[in-house]
Amino acid sequence: MRIDAPSNKANSQTSRASKPKDKAYKLSDGGGMYLEVTPNGSKYWRMKYRYAGKEKRLALGVYPSISLAQARAKREEAKRILALGDDPSLVKKAEKREKESQINNSFEKITLEWHDYKKPNWSEGYADDLLEAFQKDIFPYIGKVSITEIKPLDMLEVFRKFQKNV
């Protein structure tokens, strides 16, 4: 794979106009960032950098979903992370895991798993009524919140709203 000369620096026009070739190629933007154009026509913003003496690559996004300006902003953020002594790739992975963890640990998701687990021990009517109460009176307030972020006062507020509706 070859990197085009810096005179072919990426810009909105060259990013849009770049066509696939027999082999993948790169349009450099400087600062380690480039647009990788694959033979099938896909275009990926990437950044080459060194961390702990090793050369690494960071995926910045897919063109055109991520514009040149957005990719440059991501490059600057990665450089800031590097300046702090951290690996941008590891920071990105940790942020992704945290986001997934929050989604997988939402109050609603955990409550629905608990409901499915306990349901065989309850009458069908009770299980349905309980689920309906959660869906109508509790999930709208804290359903999407990660259970690790819910405080006792949050629950007290929800229970007070629930009592008003009963």
Nearest alpha-carbon partner for 77 in 93, 65, 89 = 89
pLDDT at 166: 62
Under 8 Å between Cβ of 31 and 50: no
Structure tokens at 135: 């869906």
Q: What is the pTM of this model?
A: 0.59
Within the chain, which residues score under 70 in pLDDT? 1-17, 165-166
CA 37 to CA 19: how far, in whole Å?
A: 7
pLDDT at 10: 65
pLDDT at 62: 96
Tally Cβ neighbours within 10 Å of residue 152: 7
Q: For the chain, where are the alpha helices, taking DSSP H only? A: 12-17, 68-83, 88-104, 107-118, 124-133, 139-142, 152-165
Domains of the chain: 6-85 (3.30.160.390), 105-165 (no CATH)
CA 155 to CA 138: how far, in whole Å?
A: 9
pLDDT at 3: 46
Cβ neighbours for 40, distance < 8 A, ≥ 6 positions apart? 20
pLDDT at 148: 86
Cβ neighbours for 22, distance < 8 A, ≥ 6 positions apart? 39
pLDDT at 5: 44
Cα torsion 15, 20, 21, 22: sign? positive
